[in-house]
Amino acid sequence: MVGPIYIIAVALGIAFIMGLFGKSLKNFTGWAMLAGLGFMTYVSGQWLLEFLNNNRAVETIYTAGFKPPYSINLQMGSYEALLTFLINVVGLLGGIYLYKDLKKTGTNAMVVFLVFIMSLNVVVMTRDMFNLFVFLEVGSIATAGLILLDKNGNALQAGMKYLIATGIIAGILLIGTIFAYYFAGSLNIDDILAANLGAAKATVIAVFLIYVSILLELKPFPANGWGIDVYTAANPGIGALVSAASATAMFYVLYKLLPLGGAEWLNYIAVIGGITFVGSNLMGTKQNNPNRLLGYSSIGQIGLLTMILGLSDILGEKLVFVAFGILISHYAAKAGLFWLSGIIKAKDIKGWAALRKSPFLLFLFGTFVFALIGFPPFPSFFGKWELIMTLATGGHWAWMTVILVGSFIEGIYLFRWLGYAIKLDHEELPDFKIEWNKFFPVWVMAIVLYAVGVYVTPMVEGGSFINYIPLMFVLFLFAIDFLPVYIKNTVSIGGIIWYMFHIYPVLEGDLLRLIFAGIFLIGGVLTLMAGYSKKGTRKGFYPMAMMMFAGLIGIIEASTLLEFFFSWELMTAGSYFLIIRGKRSMPHGYSYMLFSIAGAYAILFGFGLAFASGFDTSLAALGSISLLPTLAYTLLAVGFMTKTASLGLHIWLPGAHGEAESDVSPMVSAILLKAGVFGLMILFLYMDRASTGATNLLYVLGWVGALTTLMGNMSAAFQEDAKRLLAYSSVAQLGYILFAISIMTQLGWLAGFTYTINHFMFKAVLFLVIGGIVVKLGTHNMYEMGGMIKKMPFSFVAVLISIIVIGGIPPLSGFAGKWLFYNAILEKGWYFQGAIIFFAGIIAFLYLYKLIHSVFLGQLKDNHRNMKEISAWILIPSYVMIIGIMIFSAFPQYILKPIGNMIAPYFSSEALSWEGTKALTSFGYWDGTTVMIVVGTAFVLLLGWLVALSSKAKKIEQFNIVFAAERPHRPETTHVSYNIYAGYQKALGFLITPFVTAFWDAMSNLVLEVANWLRRIYSGSMQNYALHVVLFIVVFYLIALGGL
């Protein structure tokens, strides 16, 4: 083993040698620097391995051969080994990254770089207060020098601000240190901690001064203008180090000194961290400069970590795991992002659209953003999970809220940025070069994130259950992404089919899960089949689609809260990438993501309450929520409803589904929405229905469902865009489902299931077929279509049958749903809501008519004269679905009867009974098979009669009509479909004034305005920043010790 002291000795030795030979041997210095960094990495790495593998004691290094406190001692324990290793790795990678820049500036810059990393090592290892001060100063001076690596006016100003601020902070730390020595009689940190300086009134000032200076070094909001400017102006390679290495070291310093003052100081630390986390992220929302934005995000993340340390009493033994998970994610992601920023060199985040030129870099960018927000499988996900669960256990709702709100705000700007990179229309994409030395470090950091994520999974309670097989499949698809579509499509379908066989025995006997698994997996196969109609390689599609399906099936398989949430987030991530693939999808993908994150955090909060109620990690914990049950149910319901797009939370859906690619729309509409339904069903089954909270919640949800239906159907009726019409129709259908299951009777649930299955099938058909037509005709606008019945007869029949289902017209299963539905309403006695639903049902006919008429009937357009039927690859899955609809319509008892039996135990009365094919309720009966036979016979007879009569009919050519002499200015306005329901809109349009959209717009404007107003404190004046630092000190003092 090489002793840790050699980190210092060798780094300094090399630095001095570089000074000696630097001028004459230019190449030598570069290699010497890297060798030095490599050596430091090696030393800390071997110690890390040693601590991981052998349970050895902490190594203390005594300098000068004397024992502390009379001499300085360093410590190498497992934490020190880990953190120095992290610092040295990012130092080595950063050295490789900056190699050319450093070389351009000369030997001196390399010396400074090497010493900088060395100083951070000492800061981590030292156990002496004054030594800490010295090496903090070494680090500060080195930073001030490295800022000037890019010589520009901004860097100069930033460096000056940095020097002034750190100068004041160092002075305060020095006073604190000398008084700690005065009171404790020692400079050794362990002695000072043991002296319990926080206890006496006189000595506590030293504690305050040390805390405040360390906290200030961590750049607390709002006294951090000097830090942000460094991130903004310095070379991003330096930004990466300041963010990943310096902040890591400072974080550890705070950890070392945490016991200095006792428990009440922890509260202050937590509060300062919390304010920084939320405030800094809020500032980030108005940023367009990528480096500055990363600066705000860095400071925010460090604020979160500070807060976690402040909560260490509450977190107990979980502290290390939580802090590590979040720290390592911040570390790798932030370093990676800064380095990416240095490759792209854009002054505005919109310029990151250039990343599209390099899909692999885009992938890395996405990795970092998702890691920062805390998506699986990254370590921050597990860290945040444990954090929330532990906080919930202690009943710290306020802290949970702060964490989730801050994380959400961070999502606001990170996903806007990611959206820009993936999709922003950008005329001229700036060119950038990818040099291997810049690319390599970014790549390593991404690997670190994945590897550590998988590595820590089993350390979370219940984490070992997480099934990584589907994710391996996703990874495999990434690996074969260069292959043509048909191969990847076949592989994907094969994968899903294999999984069906794998999962069937697991789920056998659990009908609820089996039904949803069927929807997800069969739906997956059928919608994927449409993919055969695509050409080329379709880069990125398959991994993301499979990630979504992995998430969906994971939700089904989940037996624990963690598994459920893990899969839920996975599904969100996958579906986000699918949705944002559409041509004009950027804003919609963005709002989808924001609603999803907010929903996920609501669910997380609810899970926290569930877990804390009985320390049960299984999903059954939802059944015994004793802590704030009403809040928990509401949060969970709201969380799931972000996916079902219920009224108020629906504004993302029409755009997201309408603008998505033709085969993505059915995936996200027919399949993905059901995840929310599944979540709601699980919740409703588990929760304590008898409680007032739950009853009220169900009542409210019933109204929400009814109003969602009305709004959805009306909006659909006024659409000109065929896909948006279908999207709004989905909103309405999900409203029916929500309403039905909120009734909470056996009939209601049967209706809910029927609607779920129906919607899955008909919406898949409609989106597939209409999507295919839209692509084929090149327009979304229905008034630009028409007369397609002769060109696309199969499509017409498919759409017709689907419409019959939606309309609830006998004999198809839509009627079964309606029949159950009205029975349930009558039984429950929700007459007002029922009336709304009934009214909405009538409106549905308006849009259904519009859809079939405008597209298939009417006049064929000139430019569509040579159209052919849409691809067979779309029709085949559609017709499979239609066969499914027919079977379900004719023999509903095969599905509904078992479902009825399954859910019967949950409900007091069994309201539906079966006599053969006949379903009976107290209000009447219905027999699907008979109805099918009767209507079918009538249909065949009528059709025969029509065919028989057709020989007498006179054939009329399309243009055999009288034209007016003039052509109107905008011909489309004369189309019957154009604004077809203007009259209704005039009369009822007020009902669908987009006040929900307006509400959310106002909310987001409010957030942005607050951010805009608050960030005025960053006036740019270095004196003001110094003022902020002093103000922070004084205010903190007055609050903490004002009564002295």
138 lies in the site for other proteins, by CB under 8 A: yes
Neighbour tally for 359: CB within 10 Å: 12
Site string for other proteins, 526-565 (x = CB under 8 A): ----------------------------------------
At residue 718, the 3 state secondary structure works out as: coil
- Two tokens at 633? 């149910």
Out of 398, 479, 887, 1038, which residue is the one contacting other proteins (CB under 8 A)?
1038
In 3-state terms, what secondary structure has residue 913?
strand
**Rounded least distance, CB 74 to other proteins, Å:** 8
618, β-bridge pairs: 560
Q: Which stretch binds other proteins (CB under 8 A): 135-143, 334-342, 532-540, 929-937?
A: 135-143
**Residue 868 lies near other proteins (rule: CB under 8 A):** no
Identify whether the C-beta of residue 721 lies closer than 8 Å to the C-beta of residue 777: no
Residue 60 pairs in a beta bridge with 75
Q: Which is nearer to other proteins, 196 or 871 (CB)?
A: 196
Q: Is there binding between residue 186 and other proteins (CB under 8 A)? A: yes
Got the DSSP string for 587-611?
A: HHHHHHHHHHHHHHHHHHHHHHHHH
Structure tokens at 38: 């490599």
Q: Which is nearer to other proteins, 63 or 467 (CB)?
A: 63
Q: In angstroms, rounded to a whole number, what is the distance separating the alpha carbons of residues 499 and 553? A: 9
Among 40, 86, 112, 322, binds other proteins (CB under 8 A): 112
If binding is defined by CB under 8 A, does position 178 make contact with other proteins?
A: yes
Residue choice 16, 504, 831, 999 for contact with other proteins (CB under 8 A): 16
Long-range own/partner contacts, residues 439-444 (CB < 8 A, 24 or more apart): 439/343, 439/361, 440/93, 440/96, 440/97, 441/93, 441/94, 441/96, 441/97, 441/335, 441/336, 441/339, 442/336, 442/339, 442/340, 442/343, 442/361, 442/364, 443/364, 444/93
Element (H, E) at 757: helix 746-777
168 or 353: whose CB is closer to other proteins? 168
Q: Counting every residue, how long is the chain?
A: 1044
Please report how close the Cβ of residue 153 comes to other proteins at its closest, in angstroms: 5
The tokens describing 1034, both together, are 């004084």
Residue found by looking up tokens 């039927």 in the block? 869
| 25 scored as a contact of other proteins (CB under 8 A) | no
Query: Least Å distance between CB 12 and other proteins?
Result: 5
Taking contact as CB under 8 A, which single stretch among the options 18-26, 213-221, 846-854, 941-949 is the one that binds other proteins?
A: 18-26
CB 211 within 8 A of CB 257: yes
Neighbouring C-beta atoms of residue 846, cutoff 10 Å? 17
Tokens 């009908």 locate to 511
CB 162, CB 238: distance < 8 Å: no
Cβ(931)–Cβ(811) below 8 Å? yes
Q: What minimum distance in Å lies between the beta carbon of 302 and other proteins?
A: 20
Closest CA to 722 of 645, 803, 785, 679: 785
By CB under 8 A, name the one of 69, 655, 712, 841 that touches other proteins: 69
Q: Is 164 in the site for other proteins (CB under 8 A)?
A: yes
429 lines the binding site for other proteins (CB under 8 A): no
Distance CA 578, CA 672 (A): 11
Q: Which of residues 318-347 bind other proteins (CB under 8 A)?
A: none
* Minimum CB distance to other proteins smaller for 36 or for 470: 36
* Residue 66 in contact with other proteins, rule: CB under 8 A: yes
203 binds other proteins (CB under 8 A): yes
Span from 111-119, 560-568, 773-781, 995-1003 in contact with other proteins (CB under 8 A): 111-119
By beta-carbon proximity to other proteins, the closer residue of 22 and 748 is 22
Place of tokens 């109620």: 613
In the complex with other proteins, which residue's Cβ is closer, 7 or 768?
A: 7
CB closer to other proteins, 63 vs 401: 63
Cβ proximity to other proteins, 71 vs 467, nearer residue? 71
Q: How far is the CB of 179 from other proteins (least distance, A)?
A: 6
Phi/psi for 969 (5° steps) reads -60, -50
* Number of Cα atoms under 13 Å in the Cβ half of residue 543: 18
Q: Of the candidates 7, 33, 72, 120, which one interacts with other proteins according to CB under 8 A? A: 72
Residues whose CB falls within 8 Å of the CB of residue 627, separated by 6 or more in sequence, listed in order = 392, 395, 609, 612, 613
User: In this chain, which of 44, 121, 131, 298 binds other proteins, going by CB under 8 A?
Assistant: 131
Site residues for other proteins, 220-279, by CB under 8 A, read 229, 232-233
DSSP 195: T
Q: Using alpha carbons, select from 544, 584, 97, 570 the residue that is nearest to residue 363.
A: 544
| Beta partners for residue 61, in sequence order | 74
Q: Which of 1, 20, 700, 934 touches other proteins (CB under 8 A)?
A: 20
CB of 1003 to other proteins, least distance (A): 22
- Residue 57, number of CB atoms within 10 A of its CB: 8
Which one among 26, 100, 182, 398 touches other proteins, defined by CB under 8 A? 182
If binding is defined by CB under 8 A, does position 19 make contact with other proteins? yes
The interface with other proteins within residues 1012-1031 (CB under 8 A) comprises 1015-1016, 1018-1023, 1026-1027, 1030-1031
Residue 572 token pair: 């969100």
Q: What is the DSSP letter of 351?
A: G
Does the protein bind other proteins through residue 484 (CB under 8 A)? no
Q: Which of 119, 301, 613, 665 binds other proteins (CB under 8 A)?
A: 119
- Is residue 206 a contact partner of residue 169, using CB atoms and an 8 Å limit? no
Report the nearest approach of other proteins to the CB of residue 45 (Å).
Answer: 21
Residue 397 neighbours by CB distance under 10 Å: 16
The least CB distance from residue 61 to other proteins, in Å, is 7
Residues 713-742 within binding reach of other proteins (CB under 8 A): none
870 interacts with other proteins by CB under 8 A = no
By three-state DSSP, how is residue 328 classified? Answer: helix
Q: Which is nearer to other proteins, 345 or 538 (CB)?
A: 345
**Binding letters toward other proteins, positions 348-367, x by CB under 8 A:** --------------------
* The only residue of 179, 375, 399, 728 in contact with other proteins, by rule CB under 8 A: 179
Residues touching other proteins, count (CB under 8 A): 100
Kindly state whether residue 9 participates in binding other proteins, applying the rule CB under 8 A. yes
> Which amino acid makes up residue 847?
Y
Contact between 144 and other proteins per CB under 8 A = yes
Among 205, 547, 647, 840, binds other proteins (CB under 8 A): 205
Return the residue matching tokens 């630095």. 15
> 618: which 2 tokens?
């299984």
Question: 106 vs 898, which CB is nearer to other proteins?
Answer: 106
**For other proteins, the closer CB: 116 or 611:** 116
Q: Could you say whether residue 822 binds other proteins (CB under 8 A)? A: no
Query: What span, in angstroms and rounded, lies between the C-alpha atoms of 689 and 666?
Result: 34
